[in-house]
């Protein structure tokens, strides 16, 4: 069967990166059953032939009008599909979609009639926000890191920037590779525009946003970098929780040392 990826190495690389990250999420235990979602804006890799591809099935309503997404193309993990299967068979567990001219519906164009993630409303709203602000970010990743979610069950960690400074202080790499820190969204119903809008509000200041008792959303230029930021934050959470399990409160890097690190690497404050 002919695939949209045939003779399109750059587009195929985007899908291969999604598949690779999906495997990492499963291996880490962050993607139970069908948990987690990935969407990537692949519009820049779409040629005229792809633009002429017919829809597979009827248009599907998004639920809101997204003004910056007209004619945009995305590769999406399928709803009720497992990350471990997306890793092995990406084109059977994900699909390419095109946003219609009405900016409020989409069609599946390849390769199979795999309906996108149940969090598509949040993902597309985030992509619309990113495009609208002129961001270079193309990837949106949602996953369920055990250690980070566990920390949201402690009310004190839900205070603004409490987790940011705690996780920064555990290891210098976290301050360097997650320089904007970790935003917080109090618990909201999954798959809702309320959750999407609260996330977008946090993305004004952060590249990674914690959904209380649910998971994290990460945005970046590509899916690998989106994964790396979550992975780095998770390492810091593991260091903190390991120290606590040993019976002591970890000292953490001082504010002065973190500020010096920020100046040395020209990191945002």
Catalytic residue numbers, as ranges: 119
From the CB of residue 160, how many other CB atoms can be counted at a distance below 10 Å?
A: 10
Tokens standing for 36? 């987690």
Q: Sheet of 215-220: strands edge to edge?
A: 56-61, 105-110, 94-99, 73-77, 37-41, 139-143, 215-220, 208-211, 182-185
105 forms beta bridges with 61
Number of H helices, E strands in the chain: 11, 9
Supply the DSSP symbol for 47. -
CA-CA distance, 21 to 35, in Å (whole number)?
14
Helices (H), 117-254: 120-132, 146-151, 162-168, 172-177, 193-203, 223-245
Q: What are phi and psi of 204, to 5 degrees?
A: -60, -30
Q: Using an 8 Å Cβ cutoff, are 137 and 221 in contact?
A: yes
Is the link from the previous residue into 53 a cis peptide, with omega within 30 of 0?
no
Tokens standing for 111? 């390769």
Residue with tokens 């402690």: 154
């Amino acid at each position: 069967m002919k695939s949209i990826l045939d003779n399109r190495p750059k587009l195929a690389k985007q899908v291969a990166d999604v598949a690779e990250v999906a495997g990492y999420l499963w291996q880490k235990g962050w993607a139970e059953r069908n948990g987690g979602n990935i969407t990537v804006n692949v519009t820049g890799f779409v040629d005229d032939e792809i633009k002429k591809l017919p829809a597979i099935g009827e248009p599907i309503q998004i639920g809101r009008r997204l003004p910056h997404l007209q004619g945009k193309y995305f590769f999406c993990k399928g709803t009720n599909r497992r990350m471990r299967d997306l890793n092995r068979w990406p084109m059977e567990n994900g699909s390419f979609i095109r946003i219609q001219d009405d900016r409020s519906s989409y069609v599946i164009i390849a390769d199979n009639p795999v309906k996108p993630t149940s969090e598509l409303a949040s993902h597309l709203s985030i992509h619309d926000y990113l495009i609208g602000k002129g961001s270079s970010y193309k990837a949106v990743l949602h996953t369920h890191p055990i250690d980070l979610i566990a920390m949201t069950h402690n009310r004190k960690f839900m205070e603004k920037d409490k987790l940011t400074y705690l996780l920064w202080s555990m290891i210098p790499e976290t301050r360097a590779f997650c320089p904007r820190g970790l935003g917080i969204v109090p618990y909201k119903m999954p798959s809702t525009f309320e959750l999407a809008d609260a996330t977008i509000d946090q993305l004004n200041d952060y590249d990674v946003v914690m959904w209380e008792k649910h998971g994290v959303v990460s945005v970046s230029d590509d899916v690998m970098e989106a994964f790396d930021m979550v992975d780095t934050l998770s390492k810091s959470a593991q260091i903190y929780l390991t120290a606590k399990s040993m019976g002591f409160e970890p000292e953490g890097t001082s504010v002065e040392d973190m500020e010096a690190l920020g100046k040395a690497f020209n990191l945002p404050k």
